[in-house]
Structure 1
Amino acid sequence: MTASRIIVWRHGRTPWNVENRFQGQADIGLDDVGREQAARAAAALAVLEPAVLWASDLSRARDTAGALADLTGLPVTTDRRLREIHVGSWEGLLGEDVERVDPEASRRLRAGEDVRRSATGESPTEVGLRVAEALRDLADAAPDGSTVVAASHGLAGRVGVAELVGLPPEHRRLLGGLTNCAWVSVDRHRSGRYWRIEQYNATALEPSDPLEDRLDFATRVAAG
């Protein structure tokens, strides 16, 4: 058994996203905008007829997945391996706070290096390995040829997908950050030997967008 497509979906906006605070694994919930983003994205992803729905156990990812569960009737199964990077003592800090308490780590972070987030936090490489392991496991457990949706987090989703498709660590920085409620679509090559990115940072259109654009988006999502 194995899925043919994995949708790695970042959660909707939170108050700490607005303030640009390091969230890490703090359990910060969605704000009103985040809930609206989740509902809009869920309507687009439901077109793909997912067979299985997974999420990080942090509420912002679990509640984002819940919007899709409401439309599809699928249960949301949680996996701690889909959590965001653990930032240790940086949790709740602003960027300028990190610059003040750990200027060397802040410099390396800005340079795109594989920096551990505080002495007790994780590095992006460590996160990529655990998230990719989770994605492989949940795909292998899914029905043949199915689509799996996994609601996760910004950095975790980006580096987890990079690890899954085999991008070298030094190439991770070439992938832009995932915006709130955007997703990455990864499909298994017909040979079954590797995964590849087919869509990156895809988002649902705003309700105010022209009807023809929204219809075209739904067609493109359904076509993969």
Structure 2
Amino acid sequence: MSKYPSISEDAANELMKLFISDDFEENLINQHIEMVELGDSDDNVAFNEELLDTKIKEMKGFVKQHQKRDGWPIDKVESYFASYLFSALRDCNVPIQALSNHNFWRYLSLAKFWWFIEIREPNTNIRHIHIHPKSPSKHLLVRCYNRGRLSSEENEQPVFALSQLATDDTEMWQSQILGVNTSYSTEISKAIVRKQSEHRLGPGPGGALRQIGKTINRFRANLYLYAFDADQSKELIDELWEN
């Protein structure tokens, strides 16, 4: 019977406070990990934690090289990191049940990726939003996973081509793709990323990109956008940008 690791909300709160005040301590993590068993009818492919640890070492090296040595802005680091995270979780056989379990994301945030949360969110007062995935567009790992998922092509290896385009647009992903229904349409999401790289629009409140997002939402009343293919999505987004 397959299993995957998790950390409860109460334990996560306790660990987060300790990590913020006293720094990361792996021994504290281990005693709070609970294994969740999958039913006999579920896919019996085991979650490969050893492979995940290997990939995390590679990711740490990548971030250290480009963020610290090369001086990449953190938005660009996140864009590239997203494709590595999605690829890693896919290759390590993370079951779909784990991806829908908040306690699995708490485990990843605290046991595996606290180092990246510290880099991405220097403000310790709001790191809790990256531990509890109650807002998928704001929780760092969930946001990165979905950025990678929506940016990937079949069998593509990181760094994904689309991840290399949207290197200044975390706010766009957070507010105009993952934060709204657009994220349910893969091809529309990809078309937005491509067009934004060609002609960048401001994503903030009152910005042109936000107005396009509102228009897309209105279209859903009469158009089944989820069935749009790549060409149809490009045609729609090109027209919205021109107007």
TM over 0.5: no
| Structure with the larger helix share | 2
TM-score, with structure 1 as normaliser: 0.30
Bigger radius of gyration: 2
Structure with the larger RCO, 1 or 2 (CA within 8 Å, 6+ apart) = 1
